[in-house]
Amino acid sequence: MVSIDHVAHKILTYFPYVLVLIDMRFQGVKCGKDGSVDNHMEMGKKLLAAGQLADALSHFHAAVDRDPQNYMAYYRRATVFLAMGKSKSALPDLSRVIELKPDFTSARLQRGNLLLKQGKLDEAESDFKKVLKSNPSDKEEKEAQSQLTKSDEIQRLVAQSHRSFDDKDYVTAAAQLDTVIETCVWDVTSREMRAECFIQMGEMGKAISDLKAASKLKNDNTQAFYKLSTIYYNLGDHEMSLNEVRECLKLDPDHKQCYSHYKQVKKLNKQIQAAEEFIQEQRYEDAVSKYEAVMTTEPNVQHFLLLAKERICHLRYSSHHIFTVKDYETAAKHSEGDRHIKEGLERAQRLLKQSQKRDYYKILGVKRTAQKKEIIRAYRKLAQQWHPDNFQDPEEKKKAEKKFIDIAQAKEVLTDPEMRTKFDHGEDPMDPESQQGHHHHHFHGGFHGFQGFNPFGSGPFNFKFNFN
């Protein structure tokens, strides 16, 4: 069984100002007239000491229900909520404790820290000042003074960031908000403002990360989902855009902006999916018609225009080679052994296969004449955008993983002179079939196969790259 000191230490790691089970001043406090309240309190303490948080919570729930005036029952329950990482649930309990016992400095200090994390600076400062005016312990006094000083500094930075934002100095505003958010980690307003800075700076991956956090921190945050959907749409990702706008409409089916955007994205998504299905069926003319419809549906977003134009060119190129192969196959049946027909058929088949391969230039969005620096710059931007750590939903993460690998492979091929030359001559260095009879390159593929410098820091994924 885990000791009570161990549990207290674990809680204090995250909430250094929490004075829980080890505070002997409250030992022996009676919990109302009904003796069962004492039993629930005692059992809750024992279960908490054993690390059985859910069971402990049940007993503190029961204690609160039986004696709604028992401030210690609320305090203990808040302690469990904090240990479980449920700060939103802990906050009302701490407020109830302060209401019942205004001089309970430990509860007020805890509440002040939670309010500070939420970015509610005025309320947090009020709690810290009241702690200092009461009769706090030396430890509480030191903690309250430190947090009050930090809160004052955050107030100043928030004001500065607003001025920078109004002056359209988005780089400075974002840097100032970085410092704010280090302390106010649950501050929705600061995250949404920083997201807007990133949008203006063209750093869409960072904007997406902040908006996803904001959508979780604030209930019914339709605006965050709407912005996420429009960002993905302007990046040319119609599927992710559709996912996010649907989340918006789940919260508010009558949301005008989301509904209007949803109809547009759904129409475009349907056209692109139909075109790709036609390609699989080798109905190339029908696919071309669908991609021409895409250009009519969305004439303003460059990504969709380029996608449609490239696919149409690719389809016509592929269609030409398919008919050429069929013509040679027909000729070969009537002229068996003709060397020129045989060579022509092999050449046509090779060109057809090449037309169906991945285009690494297209994946990175660079021209075939792009220099190495330009390729690396495009890679960095896309890798940051599609890093799987940015996605929580399993389906979104799975899609991001695939895109991330494609982006990494494209960079690997196009920054290696030998592999790039092979690719330019119709051979895919990442295609196992192309490697038959050749030495395998050091790139092993696969999601965990990259080695080198990790530009994104540690995380649950082991992506390693060398940018040189």
- The residue among 302 and 462 whose pLDDT is bigger is 302
What's the full length of the chain, in residues?
Answer: 468
Q: Is residue 158 part of a domain?
A: no
DSSP string, 161-183: HHHHHHTT-HHHHHHHHHHHHHH
Residues 314-337 have a mean pLDDT of 63
Residue 153 is predicted with a pLDDT of 96
Distance CA 176, CA 142 (A): 26
Q: Give the CA-trace dihedral at 95, 96, 97, 100, to 10 degrees.
A: 120
Residue 377's domain comprises: 368-468
Domain stop point among 72, 101, 130: 101
Q: Pick the residue with more confidence: 15 or 367?
A: 367
pLDDT value for 344 = 61
Question: Alpha helix (H) ranges present in 335-371?
Answer: 339-355, 360-364
Is 150 part of a structural domain of the chain? no
* Residue 342 structure tokens: 């045989």
> At 71, which CATH number?
1.25.40.10
pLDDT at site 306: 85
Instruction: Record the tokens describing residue 118, joined without a space.
Output: 């939420």
356: number of Cβ within 10 Å: 13
Per the CB < 8 A criterion, the answer to whether 95 and 79 are in contact is no
Return the closest-CA partner of residue 374 out of 384, 386, 361, 388: 361
* Cβ atoms of 187 and 196 closer than 8 Å: no
What's the CA gap between 232 and 205, in Å, rounded? Answer: 10
Contacts of 411 (CB under 8 A, 6+ apart): 364, 375, 376, 379, 383, 465
Predicted confidence (pLDDT) at residue 458 exceeds the cutoff of 60: no
Q: Mean per-residue pLDDT for 209-237? A: 93
Averaged pLDDT for residues 168-184? 96
Query: 237 near 304, Cβ under 8 Å?
Result: no
Helix 394-414 / helix 238-251 crossing angle, nearest 10 deg = 160
Q: Is residue 257 part of a domain?
A: no
Tell me how far apart the alpha carbons of residues 414 and 420 are, in angstroms, rounded to a whole number: 5
Q: State both tokens at 270.
A: 């349907």
Residue type, 25: R
Least confident of 133-147, 162-176, 386-400: 386-400
pLDDT (mean) for 111-135: 94
Position 274 in a domain: no
**pLDDT > 80? residue 450:** no
Cα–Cα dist 174/166, whole Å = 12
Domain boundary residue, one of 34, 69, 101: 101
Tens digit of each residue's pLDDT (9 = 90 or more) over 251-291:
999 999 999 999 999 999 999 999 988 887 878 889 889 99
Asked whether 308 and 294 are in contact (CB, 8 A), the reply is yes
Interatomic CA distance for residues 189 and 187, integer angstroms: 6
Task: Tell me what pLDDT residue 65 has.
Answer: 93
240 part of a folded domain? no
pTM above 0.95, yes or no: no
- Torsion sign (Cα): 422, 428, 431, 432: negative
Q: How far apart are CA 106 and CA 130, in angstroms?
A: 11
Q: Tell me the helices (H) and strands (E) count for the chain, helix number first.
A: 21, 0
Residues 229 and 238: their CA atoms lie apart, in Å, by 9
In contact, 131 and 109? CB cutoff 8 Å: yes
pLDDT at 396: 80
pLDDT at 168: 96
Residue 445: which CATH number? 1.10.287.110
Q: Which two tokens stand for residue 14?
A: 């995250």
In the prediction, which pLDDT does 268 show?
A: 95
Whether the pLDDT of residue 331 is over 70: the answer is no
Per-residue model confidence (pLDDT) at position 335: 67
Report yes or no: 221 and 188 within 8 Å, Cβ to Cβ: yes
Q: What pLDDT score was predicted for residue 1?
A: 46
Question: What integer best gives the mean pLDDT of the chain?
Answer: 81
Six token digits for residue 165: 């934002």
Count of structural domains within the chain: 2
**pLDDT at residue 454 greater than cutoff 60:** no
- Asked if residue 36 belongs to a domain, the reply is yes
Q: pLDDT (tens digit, 9 = 90+) per residue, 230-260?
A: 999 998 889 899 999 999 999 999 999 999 9
DSSP 95-120: HHHHHH-TT-HHHHHHHHHHHHHTT-
Q: What pLDDT digit, counting tens, does each position of 52-109 carry? A: 999 999 999 999 999 999 999 999 999 999 999 888 899 999 999 999 999 999 999 9
Q: How large is the average pLDDT for residues 422-448? A: 57
pLDDT at position 4 is 44
At 345, phi and psi to the nearest 5? -65, -45
Residue 318: pLDDT over 70? no
Would the pLDDT of 211 be above 50? yes
Rounded to the nearest 5°, which phi and psi values hold at 365? 70, 35
Q: Which of 29-33, 127-131, 151-155, 428-432 has the lowest mean pLDDT?
A: 29-33
State percent of the chain over pLDDT 90.
50
Domain membership of residue 170 (yes or no) is no
Residue 30 pLDDT exceeds 50:
no
Residue where a domain terminates, one of 101, 118, 146:
101
Question: What pLDDT digit, counting tens, does each position of 358-404 carry?
Answer: 778 888 888 888 899 999 999 998 888 888 888 877 878 888 888 89
Residues 434, 435, 440, CA angle at the centre, nearest 5°? Answer: 150
Tokens linked to 66: 């039986």
- Is 58 domain-assigned? yes
